[in-house]
Chain A
C-alpha cells in the first residue's frame, strides 16, 4: 500500500476517502474469512478490473508490481506442498487482492483526504487525551517517506554493485539505518520549522 498518489479524475478518485477506506477494511476482512477459490478468484479479477479502470497511469503501476511475483510464487509453492493446490490458490489470490485494493486506495486518494478520514475515525480517542493530529501526521510521513527510503536503498545497492559488490547487499544495512535515523532528524527539524508542532519548544534539536 505504501506508494505514491496518481493524480487524476477517474471515478475511483471521486469516491470519498472514508468510503474507500471502509470498503477496503470490509473487503479485506471478508476475504480472510473465505476458504473457497470460487470466491477469491473472482475477487482478484474484480480488483484487477478496478485497478485497470483508473487509466493508463495505473497500468504502468501494475507492471511495477512484478517485483512481488517471486514472493507470491514462494508462498504458493509452500502452500501447495503443505496444504494442496486449492488452498495455495486461495491464499495467494487473497493476498494479491488485498494488496491491489490497498494500493488502489493509496493511488487514488489525496493524502489530505486520507488524513481527514483518519481524523474523523480517531475522534473518540480525542476524549482520552490522545493527540490525533500527531497520529495522522505520522501516517502521512510513513506514506511519504517509505517509498523514498526504498528508492534510497536501491540507489545505495546499485552503487555497491557498480563497485563490484555481490549478493543481496546485507552489509549495507547498518549504514542505511544510520542514514534513516539522520533523515528522521532532518524531517523533524523541517516540521518544527514549519510549525507542525503546536507546543512552544523544538522537540529534537536542542543543544
Chain B
C-alpha cells in the first residue's frame, strides 16, 4: 500500500466487528494533517478507531498503515510508534510514585533502573514537574494525574499520540493547560473527544456515526453540522 511522505495514516476498506455487531465496514481514509480530531456520539466507533492504530485491536478486513507500519502485523513496533492516553488516568497509572510511573515506560524499553529514573527526572524537569518526582500519585489531583499520563507518553517520543477523551472529567483551567502541553508536542495527534473547544483547535475533524464518516473537513464546518444534527435529534425527542 503506497503512502506518500505526508500521509501518516491510511485506511483502505477496513472492517471491524465486536461479536456480530459491525463497528466499521469498508472504512477508507487518508490523513496527512498533524492534528486530527474524532467527533461522534458514544458508541460511534471513536475509541475502537484509536485502538486499531496501535494494534490493541486488529481489523478483520482491509488494510491499515500508520507511519509506515501495519499495526495488525507489527504490533510491538506500532505500540512504540503510537503512544496512547486513556480517558481515566487511574486505569493507566501502575506505580505509586510519580518517578516510578514515569520510569516504567523506559524500563519496558530495556533501560536499567538508574537510566530510567534519570530519563524520567529529565522529562519531569522539562515540564516543570521535577518537584513531583517523589510524590505519591494519590497526592495528585485528577488533572495532575492526567498530565502525568500525557508526560509519560511524551517522554517515550512516539511518532503519533492517540488520546481517547483525555479531558472528560477535568476542569477548564486544567483542560487549557493540557491542551497547551499537547499543542507544543511535535508528534502527530489524534484525539477522540466530546470537547468541541478542543476539537476546534485541530487541523481536521472527522465526525463518526455508527462506524461511518458523516463529515470530514475543517473543524468549524464539522462542528456546526454536528451541533445542528444533535439539535434536530433533541427536538425530535422533545427535549428542546
Q: Which of A155-163, A167-175, A194-202 contacts B (4 or more CB under 8 A)?
A: A194-202
Q: How far is the CA of A42 from the CA of B92 in the complex (A)?
A: 43
User: Who on chain A is nearest to B149 by CB?
Assistant: A190
- B58 with A112: CB separation less than 8 A: no
Q: Are A4 and B138 in contact (CB under 8 A)?
A: yes
Q: Is B56 an interface residue, CB under 8 A from the partner?
A: yes
Q: Could you tell me the distance in whole angstroms from the C-beta of B114 to the nearest C-beta in chain A?
A: 10
Min CB gap B117→A, angstroms? 8
Determine if B109 is an interface residue (Cβ-Cβ < 8 Å). Answer: yes
- Flag if A194 contacts B105 (CB, 8 Å): yes
B96 close to A186 (CB less than 8 A) = no
B212 to A: closest C-beta gap in Å: 19
Which one of B54, B86, B97, B108 contacts A111 once the chains associate, using CB atoms below 8 Å? B97
Given A112-B113, A190-B92, A200 and B75 contact (CB-CB distance below 8 Å): yes
Binding site of B, secondary structure by majority: helix, strand, loop or mixed? mixed
> Which residue of chain A has the shortest Cβ distance to B98 in the bound complex?
A7
Cα–Cα, bound, A195→B79 (Å): 6
A202:B75 contact, CB within 8 angstroms = yes
> Closest A-chain residue to B72, C-beta based?
A201
Q: Interface size (B, Cβ < 8 Å)?
A: 40
Interface string of A163-207 (1 = CB under 8 A from B): 000000000000000000001001101111111101011100111
A205 contacts B54, CB within 8 Å? no
Contact A112 B56 (CB under 8 A): no
A110 on the B face (CB < 8 A)? yes
- The answer to whether B55 and A191 touch across the interface, beta carbons within 8 angstroms, is no
Instruction: Report the bound CA distance from A151 to B108 in whole Å.
Output: 29
B63 contacts partner chain A, Cβ-Cβ < 8 Å? no
Q: Which residues in B have their C-beta under 8 angstroms from that of A192?
A: 56, 79
Chain B hits for A62, CB < 8 A? none
Chain A residues with a Cβ under 8 A of chain B: 4-7, 110-112, 116, 140-141, 143-144, 147-148, 183, 186-187, 189-196, 198, 200-202, 205-207
